[in-house]
Amino acid sequence: MKPSQGMAIFILSALFFCFAAPVGAFEIGARGLYWFPSFKADIRADDAGKKGDNVNLKDTLGVKDESFPSFEVFVGGGNHHLNVAYTPIDYSGSALLTREIVFNGRTYAAGTRVDTGLQFKMFDLEYRYTLLDTENVAAGFSLDLIGHVKYLDGEAKINAPESKTGSEVKFRVPVPMVGLGAHIGILHDILEVRAKVTGIAYSDNHFYEALADLSFTPFPFLDIHAGYKAIRLKIDHNDLFLDSEFAGPFVGLTVSY
């Protein structure tokens, strides 16, 4: 079976479970977040048998912290929930090299002014199954089992403007993950805490994501969020090695029915 066929079956199955649930439990909505992470990353790109150097994006290449929006739509019914999200990541920087580096088969001498970019689009498909829900007993507590597929479509590039030379490496990486989520109602339908952790590790690769937020509902159908999100990513894919970490606060707004 092709990956695209498996993804289609996964989406259709999740939608079937959601819409098969009782109508009274049906929920649909959209969420927008803005994330302010600090980051650190080492990168290496090999080419044609020529091994590249491990390079620190901040210390060596002058790449700075950035903030990013994230957009999400979700649907749920009964114990079944489906989320689809999109986050554009875009880092850039400029530096005068203090040492020679090799990137994707090209050598950049010490003293060269280089411009660096790391961009990727992050697509998320998440299915949650509620294992435990005490909403009708207390202020509310639930525990979810999570199946998550994250797809990264990006590129890393280094250019030397003065010599009009440069190189880039593209990567497309699907990352299946599993995890757990929890929800605690502090004031029923007004103030809630949510947290989740997902991840996977194999060979010398791993991807972990964790977040926690506090949600305030001043009006029906409207939630205001504030929280903290962290991603730990290490991939050794084809000729690209990336060891990175992103972590910081976020704010958001959710509208649901």
pLDDT-derived band at 136, boundaries 50, 70, 90:
low
CA nearest neighbour of 173 among 3, 1, 40: 3
The CA–CA distances, whole Å, from 113 to 154, 167, 179, 232, 239 equal 23, 14, 43, 30, 24
Q: What is the pLDDT, as a whole number, of residue 189?
A: 73
Read off the pLDDT of each residue in 91-120 and give the average, rounded to a whole number: 96
Contacts 24+ apart (CB under 8 A), 226-229: 226/250, 226/251, 226/252, 227/194, 227/252, 229/35, 229/37
Distance between CA atoms of residues 169 and 180, nearest Å: 34
The tens digit of pLDDT for each residue in 53-93 reads: 999 999 999 999 999 999 999 999 989 999 999 999 999 99
What does the pLDDT average to over 7-15?
A: 48
Q: Write out pLDDT tens, residues 176-188.
A: 999 999 999 887 7
Pairwise pLDDT comparison (22 vs 139), residue with the higher score: 139
Please give the share of the chain, as a percent, with pLDDT higher than 70.
88
Nearest 5°: phi and psi at 125?
-125, 120
Q: What are phi and psi of 175, to 5 degrees?
A: -130, 105
Banded model confidence at residue 1, pLDDT cuts 50, 70, 90: very low
| Of residues 89 and 5, more confidently modeled | 89
Burial of 104: CB neighbours in 10 Å, binned 0-12, 13-18, 19+: buried
- The closest of 168, 62, 72 to 119, measured between CA atoms, is 168
Candidate from 98-102, 115-119, 193-197, 218-222 with smallest mean pLDDT: 218-222
* Residue 141 binned pLDDT confidence (cut-offs 50, 70, 90): confident
The pLDDT value recorded for residue 144 is 97
Residue 104 has pLDDT above 80, yes or no: yes
Q: Is the dihedral of CA 231, 236, 240, 241 positive or negative?
A: positive
Mean pLDDT within 142-170:
94
Indicate whether 10 pLDDT > 60. no
Beta strand extents in the chain (DSSP E only): 27-35, 38-45, 55-56, 68-77, 80-96, 101-103, 106-108, 113-133, 141-160, 165-187, 191-202, 205-219, 222-237, 240-256
pLDDT at 252: 97
Hey, what domains does the chain have and what are their CATH numbers? 3-256 (2.40.128.90)
Which of 23-32, 99-108, 143-152, 207-216 shows the lowest mean pLDDT across its residues? 23-32
Q: What is the pLDDT of residue 233?
A: 95
d(CA 128, CA 21): 14
Average pLDDT, the chain: 89
Predicted pLDDT at 25? 66
Residue 142's CB is within 10 A of a number of other CB atoms, namely 18
